Structure 1
Amino acid sequence: MAKPNKKGPVRTVQISCLQCKTPIFKYRKGGKGALVKCFIERIVEDHTTKPCHCPGCGQEFARETMIRGTPAYKIIGGKVHSK
């Protein structure tokens, strides 16, 4: 499988915790579908102190994984909101 494009898309989305509304990170998202995974190299601003955990409430919102040979966060459904 091909690796994701390094430069990536131009459009950014603000991802925040659904429970406490704390901003988690700003991400360069491609396409118009649901947020399923976040490639770590496309994250513009990271507000987390512990990977995959909300800085506000401490809830786990994703799992670290390798997708197409690139490190990524696999988002757990119903834990984050993107705007």
Structure 2
Amino acid sequence: MAKPNKKGPSKTVDIFCSQCKTQLFKYRKGGKGALVKCFIERISQDFTKQPCTCPHCERIFARETMIRGTPALKIIGGKVVHK
């Protein structure tokens, strides 16, 4: 399979923890669908102290993985909200 586009989309969305509403990061998301995965190279601002963990409530919201040969965060369903 092809790797994701390096430049990616220009539109950014804010990703928040669904439990405590703390902002986790700003992400350049393409398309209108649900947030299933986040390619690490598309994260424009990261507010987390530890990878995949909310800085406020210490809840794990994702798992680090490789998707199409690129490092990504696989989002656990219902743990994050995006606007």
Asked if these proteins are the same fold (TM beyond 0.5), I'd say yes
For 2:11 and 2:44, locate their aligned partners in 1 and report how far apart those are by CA, in whole Å.
11
SS of 2:19's partner is coil
Unaligned runs of 5+ in 2: none
CA drift of 1:36 comes to 0.2
Amino acid at match of 1:81: V
SS of 1:60's partner is coil
CA drift of 1:67 comes to 0.1
CA drift of 1:63 comes to 0.2
What is the aligned length?
Answer: 83
Q: Percent identity?
A: 76
CA drift of 1:33 comes to 0.3
Aligned to 1:55: 55
Root-mean-square deviation (Å):
0.3
Q: Deviations over 1:4-63 (max 9, x none)?
A: 000000110000000000000000000000000000000000000100000110000000
Moved over 3 A (4+): none
Report 1:18-57 matches (<5 A): 18-57=18-57
TM-score w.r.t. structure 1 length?
0.99
For 2:66 and 2:37, locate their aligned partners in 1 and report how far apart those are by CA, in whole Å.
10
